[in-house]
Amino acid sequence: VLPLGFKTVQRGTPVSAAVESVRQTDAVCSSLVRLPTQPVYVCVPLKHPQAGLRIAPGLRPPERMDEKRDEPNLSYRNGISQIQLYGEFTTKASRKVRYAVSLTERDLTVQKITSAPAGRSKVVFNLRDCVGCRAFKPDDNTDVGAYFSAYFYPFKKRWMSSGVARQRTEQCFRVASGLDPHLNLEEAQRWARAISEGSAHQRPQRNGVVYSEVCRPCKVLLLLNPHSGKGQALSLFTGHVQRMLHEASIPHTLVVTERQNHARELVREADLTKWDALVIMSGDGLLFEVVNGLMEREDWEEAIQTPLGILPGGSGNALAASIHHYAGSQPVSSEELLVSCGFLLCKGLVTRLDLTSVCLGSAPQPQRLFSFLSLAWGFVADVDIESEKYRHVGAARFTVGTLVRLASLRVYQGKLAYLPAEAAAAASTSTDTPLCPASSSTTSEVPSAHTHPHPTSSSPHGFCSSLVCRSSRASPGQNVTHTFHNYCNSNNASKAKRGRDRPPLAPALGRGRAPDSLLVPLDQPVPSDWTVVPEEDFVLVLAMYQSHLSEDLQAAPDSTLEDGLIHLFYIKAGISRATLLRLFLAMEKGAHVDASCPHLVHAKVRALRLEPYSAKGTITVDGELVDYGPVQAQVHGSLARLIAS
């Protein structure tokens, strides 16, 4: 007897219901022929139904078995994922061992076909951890089979330390259902396409609500600073990032910067319609250049909507550590942090990012720039700039700089004032004018697609105009061309010293560029609803808009990418060196906020003003040295877009 179709049903299902279920199965409906007698239905109990059904050699399942019918949600019923594809394959390494491979809406299950009890050799891979899948022909022309490889980055235990980190896993299978190599390649492409699409539809959730769209990047411009950190950014790119982009089928162009402000000039003049995302591989300084280059364009409103990506390649890597933290992952550093951020880049999830406008009044002409990370004066700024001499030790330079500065603790005189978040919210409800005319809502909800238009995207969160862009609709086996565009004559080009050769600031931006409705000119007193700090002696003043100050310093644990807040910290004079050291040690886990230190003050604000009285001092914006003098800042909620989770 030749079975015409199969259908698995739960135990206890009435026979009549089981028969009707088989009658409606795609496999039966597409295979039934006119028979002189009525078909016979046989119910066979399966001890391990998820193991699938073995298909006799030479028999191919109907082509439409994996297609969905009008019945809603066929692939997921009663909390159980239904199998969409099933097959038995060998691997590239060995053709003697066969594996049963099944694909559901959420998982890829691989089980070695053996006489051992079921479950021992079964491995389940969550599609949420998958960055891509591709099909390809073998190098051996005599091999009629085809292959498909799926690339996963699940969390696994570290080898040498506690905790987990994302680690690469490749699953490669050989398809040889017949002697026709073209049919085998088509079947491999069908699997690769189904796995890739299933991975793209796995969207992250927070509190049960999907907060971001999923879309593959189409064209990525990747800017890399070869001198950041220990000077290993280029080798880290070729060792990790390049392979991940290839696995995710992300075409990209690499630009190696050759001087300070090269990236700023490039994005200011570039035709951004050629790119769907700008990715920075460096420390936080190169992203600072890119953000301000975009805001200096005439079409800044559209330009700043270009999704930005960050790959850690410097010393601080604060934004990269913050993105990793927002994803709910355990703290990691170095190459593990790079793999984590590379994974988020390949997944292509786009969210909103707050920017803070910073106005400087010390120069002959007032300057205005935009910041995504921090504004620092005093101890933190001193450590950031003075530790440049220890750059060769990587992230440890900040630890060395902190100890050196603790040995000769300084006190800074100045006047600090700020607008509390509560006062700003009350002011916004009492007027018809929004606080930030150029920004969107500061709530955690995703803004409307019409809030910020973008020339190449009609989706508010995706890179492209549809769920899967044109280039990713190509066959998963299609090779992705990587164009390397090197603007640097030598990787040993002279390194700019931030403490000596300061980056030139653009002239004051026009009022049309995200106007600061909460600020008044620096030569005027602050409004009456502002809070003026009575103390005038400080050890440090730190304004944070992200969670991390560096890879291992969680300065503002409650901060998020688009909360529309500035987390203002200041430490008053009189604190002992030992207490200050304990605060920084507690900052590794964000516990300094709850340390009940009388010298530490934390306030959530929308705007601030700092007027230093000391003749000499250091002020940094996103870790970059700026002119010393009066400064004020205002947050603009959700002004930019960032590739994050």
Q: What is the 3-state secondary structure (H, E, C) of 103-143?
A: ECCCEEEEEECCCCCCCCCEEEEEHHHEEEEEEECCCCCCC
What is d(CA 375, CA 364) in angstroms, rounded to the nearest whole number? 21
Question: What number of helices (H) and strands (E) belong to the chain?
Answer: 14, 29
Query: Do 374 and 358 meet the contact criterion of CB atoms below 8 Å apart?
Result: no
The sign one gets for the Cα dihedral 104, 107, 108, 113 is negative
Which residue, among 222, 234, 317, has the nearest Cα to 492 in the 3D structure?
234
Give one DSSP letter per residue of 10-59, joined into a string.
-TT--HHHHHHHHHT-HHHHHH----SS---------S-GGG--PPPTT-
What is d(CA 173, CA 149) in angstroms, rounded to the nearest whole number? 7
What is the enclosing helix (H) or strand (E) of 523?
none
Q: What backbone torsions phi and psi does residue 186 show, to the nearest 5 degrees?
A: -60, -40
Which residue, among 30, 37, 29, has the nearest Cα to 1 in the 3D structure?
37
What is d(CA 190, CA 476) in angstroms, rounded to the nearest whole number? 9
End-to-end C-alpha distance for the chain, whole angstroms: 53
What is d(CA 196, CA 192) in angstroms, rounded to the nearest whole number? 6
At residue 607, the 3 state secondary structure works out as strand
The tokens for 246 are 């290839």
The tokens for 10 are 């739960």
Which residue, among 257, 545, 331, 240, has the nearest Cα to 421 in the 3D structure?
545
Instruction: Tell me the Ramachandran region of residue 493: left when phi exceeds 0, alpha when psi lies from -120 to 50, beta otherwise.
Output: beta
At residue 368, the 3 state secondary structure works out as strand
Give one DSSP letter per residue of 554-575, joined into a string.
-S-TT--TTS--EEEEEEETT-
Query: Do 183 and 177 meet the contact criterion of CB atoms below 8 Å apart?
Result: yes
At residue 83, the 3 state secondary structure works out as coil
Active site residues: 284
At residue 399, the 3 state secondary structure works out as helix
Given the DSSP bridges, would you call strands 164-166 and 155-157 parallel, antiparallel or unpaired?
antiparallel
In this structure, the number of other CB atoms found within 10 A of the CB of residue 399 comes to 17
CA within 13 Å, CB half, 229 = 29
The gap from C-alpha 307 to its chain's centroid, in whole angstroms, comes to 11
Residue 101 CB burial class (10 angstroms; 0-12, 13-18, ≥19): buried
Given the DSSP bridges, would you call strands 537-544 and 619-621 parallel, antiparallel or unpaired?
unpaired
Q: What backbone torsions phi and psi does residue 394 show, to the nearest 5 degrees?
A: 75, -140
